[in-house]
């Protein structure tokens, strides 16, 4: 039976609106109509009691959650556990993200993602391969012994997914023109990250079809007065997309405000770069045999280097409102509409409009979760 979500402040393309009924038929939004529309009266009513209703959050970079690291459990059950942990924080669509690893683990991660989508695991939109085609100079917490320069075999592996989208993060200076062009031609979304490229190299890559950058500012050459670096290339290229980790540890609040102001609206989106402690009571995990600890809100490896984050997407939205100073409507779009567009899913996800996925988050005035829906199924 059609559901009617009523009595909410609904995020529309023009901002929050009241007096609407969001009609849900199965996994899709059937219509957004006036509350007085006869179709609303004939539906099964869900009273949201004045909550904000926003599109479900989409996270393009989820390394783990619920105590699970995707590299350690590249399986359907591992993906299911990660997705369930993040759903508690409003994430209704995500890419399980593999940190640089061997080809056999990459193959397992791609196959598991395909199988998870086939099995209907809630929220899985594809896979993100963060490496191993990265620059040792900007390795972050990645294991540089895993790094490769991709050949035809790697291109075929990265592009082998059957279901959902594939996103790969790579250092453009470590990838040949032919291999980069082949990845893009095969439909792989390519982002620059963990890169030591200069401005000219990064700009050429963006002009050649690299869609944007992974976690802007982190693990890339900075913007300076005489060499703009990858950061400068990303901010200067109007059509590029930038993921932001808004946790107060990866990027200063003022730096975030400056960067967001420098780009056309809609080209900045939120990511978590989340690790196993999200949705878990255990404040540590192991990565490549080394213990990573949660210290004052930051995940640090034994060298004191940031190793992903303990951020969830709801906290990222709150931080964007409270510390960056953006309105809730824009912060919510940065967590839903814009990542959907980055992934090429802008016609099916990330908006509350007829024909779109019935993925929602209901929030109260304190920006805590009241309810979530994935494919019309509430939780």
List the catalytic residues: 273
| Backbone dihedral angles phi then psi of residue 10, each to the nearest 5 degrees | -90, 130
Any known ligand binding at 141?
A: yes
Asked whether residue 15 is marked as a ligand-binding residue, the answer is no
- Please tell me the distance from the alpha carbon of residue 113 to that of residue 105, in angstroms, as a whole number: 12
How far is the C-alpha of 277 from the C-alpha of 156, rounded, in Å? 33
153 is in an annotated binding site: no
What's the N-to-C CA distance of the chain in angstroms?
A: 17
Query: SS3 helix, strand, coil % of the chain, rounded to 5?
Result: 30, 30, 45
Q: Is 372 annotated as a binding residue?
A: no
Residue 372, helix vs strand vs coil: strand
Cβ within 8 Å of residue 154, ≥6 positions away? 103, 133, 148, 179
The verdict on whether residue 215 carries a ligand-binding annotation is: yes
375 annotated as belonging to a binding site for a ligand: no
User: Which neighbouring-strand residues pair with 166?
Assistant: 127
For residue 229 the two structure tokens come to 């670096």
Strand order in the sheet with 189-192: 57-62, 91-99, 126-130, 165-170, 189-192, 212-213, 241-245, 268-271
On whether 219 is known to bind a ligand per the annotation, the reply is yes
Rg (CA), the chain: 20
218 in a known ligand binding site: yes
d(CA 305, CA 283): 16
CB contact at 8 A, 130 and 167: no
Tokens of 255: 């730096």
Whether 11 has a binding-site annotation, put simply, is no
Residue 116, Cβ density class (10 Å: 0-12 exposed, 13-18 middle, ≥19 buried): buried
Annotated binding residues for substrate, written as ranges, equal 141, 218-219, 226, 250, 306-308
Annotated binding residues, written as ranges, equal 130, 141, 194, 215, 218-219, 226, 250, 306-308
Annotated binding residues for Zn(2+), written as ranges, equal 130, 194, 215
């Amino acid at each position: 039976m059609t559901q009617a979500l009523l009595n909410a402040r609904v995020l529309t393309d023009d901002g929050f609106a009241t007096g609407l009924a969001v009609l849900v038929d199965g996994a899709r939004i059937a219509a957004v109509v006036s509350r007085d529309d006869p179709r609303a009266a004939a539906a099964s009513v869900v009273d949201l009691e004045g909550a904000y209703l926003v599109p479900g959050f989409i996270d393009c970079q989820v390394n783990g959650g619920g105590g699970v690291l995707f590299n350690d459990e590249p399986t359907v059950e591992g993906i299911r556990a990660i997705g369930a942990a993040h759903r508690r924080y409003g994430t209704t669509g995500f890419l399980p993200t593999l940190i640089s690893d061997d080809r056999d683990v990459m193959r397992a991660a791609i196959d598991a993602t395909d199988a998870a989508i086939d099995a209907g695991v809630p929220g899985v939109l594809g896979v993100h391969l963060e490496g191993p085609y990265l620059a040792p100079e900007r390795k972050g917490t990645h294991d540089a012994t895993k790094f490769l320069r991709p050949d035809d075999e790697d291109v075929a592996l990265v592009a082998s997914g059957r279901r959902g989208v594939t996103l790969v993060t790579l250092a453009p200076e470590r990838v040949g023109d032919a291999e980069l062009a082949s990845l893009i031609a095969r439909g792989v979304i390519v982002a620059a990250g963990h890169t030591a490229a200069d401005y000219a190299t990064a700009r050429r890559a963006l002009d050649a079809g690299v869609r944007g950058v992974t976690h802007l500012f982190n693990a890339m050459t900075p913007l300076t007065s005489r060499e703009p670096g990858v950061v400068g290339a990303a901010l200067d290229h109007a059509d590029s997309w930038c993921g932001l980790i808004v946790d107060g540890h990866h990027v200063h609040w003022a730096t975030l405000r400056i960067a967001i102001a420098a780009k056309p609206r809609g080209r900045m989106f939120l990511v978590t770069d989340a690790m196993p402690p999200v949705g878990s009571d255990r404040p540590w995990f192991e990565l490549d045999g080394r213990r990573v600890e949660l210290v004052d809100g930051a995940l640090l490896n034994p060298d004191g280097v940031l190793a992903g984050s303990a951020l969830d997407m709801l906290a990222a939205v709150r931080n964007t409102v409270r510390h960056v100073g953006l309105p809730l409507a824009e912060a919510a779009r940065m967590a839903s509409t814009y990542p959907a567009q980055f992934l090429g899913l802008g016609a099916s996800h990330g908006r509350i409009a007829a024909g779109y996925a019935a993925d929602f988050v209901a929030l109260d005035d304190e920006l805590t979760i009241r309810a979530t829906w994935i494919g019309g199924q509430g939780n």
